[in-house]
Structure formats: C-alpha cells, structure tokens
C-alpha cells in the first residue's frame, strides 16, 4: 500500500509509514471545527488567500487517477480522542493494510494545517474521524464519527471498491492503452535517438579524424618551417661569428701595430750614466723574448711589449716578476717608472698570466 502526503507544510504519516500523526488529546472532549475560510480568525491563513493550497488534494487525486487506483482521504484532528482510537484500531491494523493492498492510495491531512482546513471545508467534514473514498474525481462514500470500527470501515470500503470497480476498470484500460501508446512512442523515440546517436558518433569520428590529420599536417608544416628557420639562424649565426672573429683579428692586429708604434726600441748599448734593465718576457702561450729598457721608462711599456708580441691573442692578462713565489704583480701604470720597482732591476723574468685578483 502506498501513502501520498502531498503537503506544503508539516507532513502527517500514518503508523504504516516512517512517522506518526501527533498524539491526540485522549480526554474525549471534541474539538471545535477549524475557523471558516472567510472568518477573521482564518483571514491570514485561509484557503482562498493561498493559490497553492488545493495542490495537496488535487495532486493526490491526479496521481491516483493516473495510477488507476482509488484514493482514500483521511482527515485527522489531534484534539479529538476518536481520531487516536481510529488510528490505533483501524489504520494501524495489519489486516486493514492488506485489505487496501495495491488498489488504494492514501492521502492524510491534519485539520490544524492549512491544507487540512482546505480539505475540511472542501469535503464538508462534519465530525471526526473522517474518511472518504474517491475513484478518479468522484467521491464514492464518506465515513465520519466515533463509531467507525474496523469491520464497518472494511465493509463500507469493500462496497465502494466494488461500486467503483467498473469505472476504475475503464480507467485501468485507458491507462494501459495510454501506457502502450507511450511505450510505443518511447520505443520509436529510442530507436530514432539511437540512430541519431550512431550518426552523430560517426560524424564525430570522421571530424576527429579530419582534425587529427589537419593537426598532423600543421605540425609537419611547422616542423619544416622551424627547420628552415633554424638552418637560416644557424647560418646567420655562423656568418656573424666569422665576421666577429675577423673583426677581433683585425682589431687585435691594429692594437699590436699601435703597441709596436709606442714601444721604445730595445737598448743594445747605453751610456755609462744611463741605467738599463734586461727583461725576459714569457707570454701566455709560453714563448719567450728578451728586451732591454731604460729604467726611466714607465711601467706601462712592459704591457706595451706584451701586447705587441705576435702570439698575443687579445686575452686579458697581468704581469708578474720572479721565477718562484712570492711573485710581485706589476701594475700597468704610466705614472711610475721601472726604477720604482726594485724587482725589475737587473736581469729579470716577467711572466704574463690571466688576472687572479686586485693588483698591488
């Protein structure tokens, strides 16, 4: 048995379901009927003021009709002791649930709710408990009052079910015909959708294949263009390197020529009053040359000599004096003479080396 509580507020569950209707007042005092829809007490909570209110009962009737089943409507009042007795003695009885079986849907409302007040007035409920049996939208019977025993309710409902059976059978036939048409329509729709899906997959596969081929072609073209650019860049870099190397050689030769032009001639013999020093210069490549300078010459002439050598390749260097440590670094100083560095006097070895730190 299926219960439908299509409420917009608090749901009321029969004991067959997950919860229960709130416990009733067992004092036996009947509750006053709910305020009428037009009264001042219900002015702010009336059925007519809420366009959504009829949806509970209307939806229950619609679902029951579409399901080709009867609808049992139960109106509950927690202030009426008879309702609790009805719940315990009728609705909670296992034989009653089996009696309803799958033929009946149940829609239960609490009269204290807005929907309950709507159903109360719409069905013209006189007293509690109240049940009504519908087939489609036709009310076959209603039962109300404290004398509703299990046997009485089952007997009356059996009569109602038998009375409405023909109309329900027509509805069942109509529903089955409608379902058959709908199944056929859905089957055709599924076949059409499947055909469309296969066509779409085929088109998508072809499009993907075309896209992959286009991408591969684009990659091949890009790789070819990149190879051409790389070859051109490498050729341009090679030619530029050759030009740079030629320019360095040209400038180095000019520097060597300028150094030779500034280099004073080696002193072969000197007057008795002229002091000289004999320099043996060792280049970065290890070659040696001997040169004699007057000690009055500036220290910079030693660097001029080093830069004028044919094997000099343009690398930066510094000059050191001595054959073994500690070696003294000679500064490229035009304002100091050779005579100012005692280590350079006499016959000395001057060595070119790559710079290793600040000159002293």
Residue matched to tokens 């049992």: 72
* 6, two tokens: 């299509």
Residue 86, classed as helix, strand or coil, is helix
Per-residue pLDDT for 4 more than 60?
no
pLDDT category at 34 given cuts 50, 70, 90 is low
How many alpha carbons fall within 13 Å on the CB side of residue 277? 24
Q: Which pLDDT does position 270 carry in this prediction? A: 59
Give the tens place of pLDDT for each residue, 130-140. Answer: 999 999 889 99
Backbone angles phi, psi at 281, to 5 degrees: -95, 125
Q: Is the pLDDT of residue 323 over 50?
A: yes
Task: Name which of 70-84, 196-210, 323-337, 341-355 the model is least confident about.
Answer: 323-337
**Which pLDDT band holds residue 241 (cuts at 50, 70, 90)?**
very high
In tens, the pLDDT along 145-192 reads 988 999 999 999 999 888 888 887 887 788 788 888 999 999 999 999
Report whether 344 contacts 306 (CB < 8 A). Answer: no
Q: Confidence class of residue 257 from pLDDT cuts 50, 70 and 90?
A: very high
For 34-43, what is the mean pLDDT?
Answer: 42
Beta bridge partners of 313: none
Q: What percent of the chain has pLDDT over 70?
A: 82
Computed over its alpha carbons, how large is the radius of gyration of the chain? 58
Whole-number Å distance between alpha carbons of 340 and 336? 7
Categorise residue 330: left if φ over 0, alpha if ψ from -120 to 50, beta otherwise: beta
Tell me the pLDDT tens digit for each residue of 49-101: 333 333 689 999 988 888 888 999 999 999 999 999 999 999 999 999 888 87
Q: What is the pLDDT of residue 271?
A: 63
Question: Which domains does the chain show, CATH number per domain?
Answer: 2-163 (3.40.30.10), 276-353 (3.10.20.90)
The Cα 317–Cα 355 span in angstroms is 5
| 292 within 8 A of 278, measured Cβ to Cβ | yes
What's the rounded mean pLDDT across residues 9-17?
A: 33
Upper half-sphere CA count for residue 120 (Cβ side, 13 Å): 23
29 pLDDT exceeds 80?
Answer: no
């Amino acid at each position: 048995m299926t219960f439908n509580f299509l409420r917009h507020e608090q749901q009321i569950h029969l004991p067959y379901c997950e919860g229960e209707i709130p416990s009733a007042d067992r004092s036996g005092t009947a509750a006053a009927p709910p305020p009428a829809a037009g009264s001042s007490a219900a002015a702010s909570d009336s059925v007519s003021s809420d366009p959504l209110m009829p949806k509970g009962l209307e939806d229950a009737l619609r679902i029951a009709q579409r399901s080709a089943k009867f609808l049992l409507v139960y109106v509950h009042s927690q202030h009426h002791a008879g309702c609790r007795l009805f719940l315990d003695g009728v609705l909670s009885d296992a034989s009653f649930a089996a009696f309803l079986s799958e033929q009946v849907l149940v829609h239960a409302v609490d009269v204290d709710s807005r929907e309950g007040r709507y159903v109360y007035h719409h069905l013209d409920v006189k007293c509690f408990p109240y049940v009504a049996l519908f087939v489609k939208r036709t009310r076959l019977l209603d039962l109300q009052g404290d004398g509703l025993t299990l046997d009485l309710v089952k007997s009356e409902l059996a009569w109602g079910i038998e009375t409405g059976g023909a109309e329900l059978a027509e509805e069942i036939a109509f529903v089955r015909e409608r379902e058959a048409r709908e199944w056929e329509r859905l089957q055709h729709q599924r076949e059409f959708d499947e055909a469309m899906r296969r066509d779409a997959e085929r088109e998508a596969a072809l499009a993907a294949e075309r896209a992959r081929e286009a991408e591969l072609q684009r990659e091949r073209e890009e790789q070819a263009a990149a190879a051409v650019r790389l070859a051109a860049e490498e050729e341009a870099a090679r030619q530029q390197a050759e030009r740079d190397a030629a320019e360095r050689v040209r400038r180095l030769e000019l520097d060597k020529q300028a150094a030779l032009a500034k280099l004073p001639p080696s002193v072969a013999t000197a007057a008795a009053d002229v002091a000289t020093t004999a320099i043996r210069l060792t280049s970065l490549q290890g070659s040696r040359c001997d040169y004699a300078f007057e000690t009055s010459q500036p220290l910079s002439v030693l660097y001029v000599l080093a830069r004028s050598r044919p094997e000099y390749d343009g690398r930066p260097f510094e000059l050191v004096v001595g054959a073994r440590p500690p070696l003294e670094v000679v500064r490229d100083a035009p304002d100091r003479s050779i005579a100012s560095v005692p280590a350079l006097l006499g016959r000395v070895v001057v060595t070119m080396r790559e710079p290793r730190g600040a000159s002293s």
